[in-house]
Amino acid sequence: AAMAEGEGLLSVDYEVSGKVQGVFFRKYTQGEAKRLGLVGWVQNTSHGTVQGQIQGPPARVRELQEWLRKIGSPQSRISRAEFSNEKKIAALEHKDFQILK
């Protein structure tokens, strides 16, 4: 594919399963997202996963996806990271990257 991915913004939803609650996963995700200059949110779900949304330049979004899939917070154990609703957006829909309660 041609590398025309330089421009534009991407939005993608994610859900991470495994040992991801009570291990500062949200805090680390927020830190990583901010480091990459991404916006969105992260929250714990009632069924033991962490979910959220990432928005930003495609290459940076891919980096965070990879981080969510493989790294996470130091104490976490990720069994699965699922991504959905991927779409191009004209403008960012969030001001920053927030931890939602």
pLDDT in tens, 9-50: 999 999 999 999 999 999 999 999 999 999 999 999 999 999
Helix or strand run (H / E) with residue 28: helix 25-36
| Catalytic site positions | 26, 44
pLDDT band at 101 (very low <50, low <70, confident <90, very high): confident
Side by side, which strands form the sheet with 77-89?
Answer: 77-89, 9-19, 50-56, 39-44, 97-99
Catalogue all structural domains in the chain, each as residue range(s) with its CATH number: 9-99 (3.30.70.100)
Q: What is the pLDDT of residues 42-93, one digit of tens each?
A: 999 999 999 999 999 999 999 999 999 999 999 999 999 999 999 999 999 9
Is a pLDDT exceeding 70 seen at residue 3?
Answer: no
